[in-house]
Structure 1
Amino acid sequence: MKHERVKEVVELTQYEDIKKGEKGAWLSIAAYLVLSSIKLWIGYTFISGALVADGYNNLTDIIASVAVLIGLKISQKPPDVDHPYGHFRAETIAALVASFIMAAVGLQVIIEAGRTMIAGNIETPGMITAWVALAAAAVMLVVYTYNSRLAKKINNAALHAAAKDNLSDALVSIGAAIGIFGAQLNMPWLDPVAAFIVGIIICKTAWDIFVSCTHALTDGIDEKVLKKLRITVANTKGVREISDLKARVHGNNVLVEVIVQVDPELTLIEGHSICDEIERRLSKKHNILNVNVHVEPQDMKNNNI
């Protein structure tokens, strides 16, 4: 009973952590709304294509942040008949959506930069556009730092993806500023080159998030994690052999299924006690709440072969 009470407390803490994650999503949305408005206004006024593109980039980021927020909202729903393990995977799906949006923006930046380099007709923007871009980069670095730390604290994949998006946006703004300063120094080619490099960085970040999310959604898990779980189960008193051990990621949780062999002369109560001990140890050492343990009597004949 004590283990069950601890489990309920940890589950409640998880839902509270997800609620905290909403603050990061709202912070990103607020920052993008303000920055996109300023960038588009200054960019069009002082003829800076780089800053205008950066402004539209932030508009698309609002959609990504809203997707993350929706994912966090859905993941807070308690388990039901259709979702016995809860709705935590909504976080992963939200992060996946964010990666698609980031990839689209990155490709757009690369294409526009390529067109500008081919055309060669680059106008010199006003210096104020460079300072606006640098100020925007500083703001996004602050937002990135906040969201990154919060994502690590609550172990939230969707917010971690949003934080990476924040960092990409800071790099975009820095790239825009470099291009504008280069134009002022009679090096207009720096603008599209910087934009092209930033576009590649955005696409690389989107790809990393995509790989991580699809790996989790297809029930993939790190082999190092499996090895640690196997060691913990094997070292549990009463376990003679592990027949099978599987695990999969569910949001920020890990679900474990394990089959162990025990002394065939143990009573049902003693076998159940071993199951409880495995659950307790996995919960304490690896923060795993959902463990399905199946106990089998050890086949002494096969064991001696």
Structure 2
Amino acid sequence: MNKNMTPEAGAWLSIGAYIGLSVIKLIVGYIANSQALRADGLNNLSDIVVSAAILIGLKISKKPRDHNHPYGHSRAEHISSLVAAFLMMFIGMEVLIEGFYSIVHFKKEAPEWLAAWTGGFSALVMLGVYAFNRRLAKQTKSQAMEAAAKDNLSDALVSIGTVIGIIGAQFQLFWFDPLAAIIVGIMICKTAWEIFSETSHMLTDGFDEHILNEYKKEIALVQGVKKVADVKARMLGNEIILDVTIQVDPQLNVVKSHEIADRIEAMMKEQHNIQTTHIHVEPAVHVPKRS
């Protein structure tokens, strides 16, 4: 994969795949008399909206800071992930409702094998798109692309469920189709909830406590640092903003204290790729021992 590739490439790939697959599924679903495949095609149409939302969020997040957004627009990426999660949850609930309805009112009519082959082809395509976007998300550290990759995987599972239902219908197991839809619907809802939980955690400035403790231990080892009084971090898009309060020898002048802060900034940038570290320097207070 090209290291210079941007997250937008993954969003455009998803949109292109969804457009092509939705058209194929709707046409074949009608010809092969497969209600499950037609539903899968409609699901892909709705996924175009999810991918478009992520693409818009990525575009907005790259806008430079202005007088209303002094920290830039990076959090637009998180908002696009939330939109994707809500849309996925809606799709998952729709699949669940349709599945339960079909169990109660299923028709003893098997679709043609062409529908199963189309569903299998679609699953392979979406697994390929998922693998591409997952690697791209790790490479660019894009939370929106991570959400998109999870959506791609859900769509591959939907197609696999569709194939299982169609094959089951060929052997007179007509209830396989709605049962597979229910299982897939649960998986889509689970994925949507995971994306929502992770994104809302970041939007409320949540950060992994264990990672913060690691930062604190490393900063405490920097020459000249007497004590690390506080370490806080938050995410702006895919970038970590670190706020550190350290205590140093009160006899140090401003230049020496600034050199210690520079060493901490360089270390965090080199070891953790943290580009922005705000450091507040305080004099270390000597507390005399009680007799």
Give the TM-score normalised by the residue count of structure 1.
Answer: 0.91
Gaps of 5+ in 2: none
Q: Deviations over 1:25-74 (max 9, x none)?
A: 00000000010011111112221110011001000100000011111111
Any conservation in 1 of the 2:107–2:174 contact (CA below 8 Å)? no
Which residue of 1 is the match for residue 202 of structure 2?
216
Q: Deviations over 1:142-173 (max 9, x none)?
A: 11111111111111110111111111001000
Deviates more, 1:81-90 or 1:51-60: 81-90
Closer/same/farther in 2, CA of residues 302 and 130 from structure 1, 3 Å limit: farther
Work out which of the residue numbers 199, 202, 219 in structure 1 matches 2:185. 199
Which residue of 2 is the match for residue 268 of structure 1?
254
Partner Cα distance (2:69, 2:49) in 1: 27
Any conservation in 2 of the 1:151–1:157 contact (CA below 8 Å)? yes
Closer/same/farther in 2, CA of residues 51 and 209 from structure 1, 3 Å limit: same
Which residue of 2 is the match for residue 50 of structure 1?
36
Q: Tell me how far 1:87 sits from its aligned partner.
A: 1.7
Work out which of the residue numbers 60, 72, 84 in structure 2 matches 1:86. 72
Q: 1:37 aligns to what SS in structure 2?
A: helix
Q: Deviations over 1:240-265 (max 9, x none)?
A: 01111111111111111111111000
Is 2:252 the counterpart of 1:283?
no
Letter in 2 for 1:114: F
Work out which of the residue numbers 86, 90, 110 in structure 2 matches 1:124. 110
Which residue of 1 is the match for residue 213 of structure 2?
227
Higher fraction of helix? 1
Gaps of 5+ in 1: 1-15
Closer/same/farther in 2, CA of residues 18 and 204 from structure 1, 3 Å limit: farther
Which residue of 2 is the match for residue 108 of structure 1?
94
What is the number of residues matched between the two proteins? 290
Q: Tell me how far 1:130 sits from its aligned partner.
A: 0.7
Q: Deviations over 1:68-88 (max 9, x none)?
A: 111111111122233233222
Q: Tell me how far 1:226 sits from its aligned partner.
A: 0.4
The alignment-based identity, stated in percent, is 50
Is 2:9 the counterpart of 1:62?
no
Give the TM-score normalised by the residue count of structure 2.
Answer: 0.96
Any conservation in 2 of the 1:116–1:122 contact (CA below 8 Å)? no
Any conservation in 1 of the 2:150–2:191 contact (CA below 8 Å)? yes
Partner Cα distance (1:91, 1:276) in 2: 30
Partner Cα distance (2:91, 2:130) in 1: 18
Closer/same/farther in 2, CA of residues 101 and 85 from structure 1, 3 Å limit: same
Q: Deviations over 1:79-129 (max 9, x none)?
A: 223323322211111111111111110110000000000113343111111
Partner Cα distance (1:160, 1:25) in 2: 11
Which residue of 1 is the match for residue 171 of structure 2?
185
Which residue of 1 is the match for residue 147 of structure 2?
161
Letter in 2 for 1:136: S
Is 2:247 the counterpart of 1:244?
no
Q: 1:239 aligns to what SS in structure 2?
A: coil
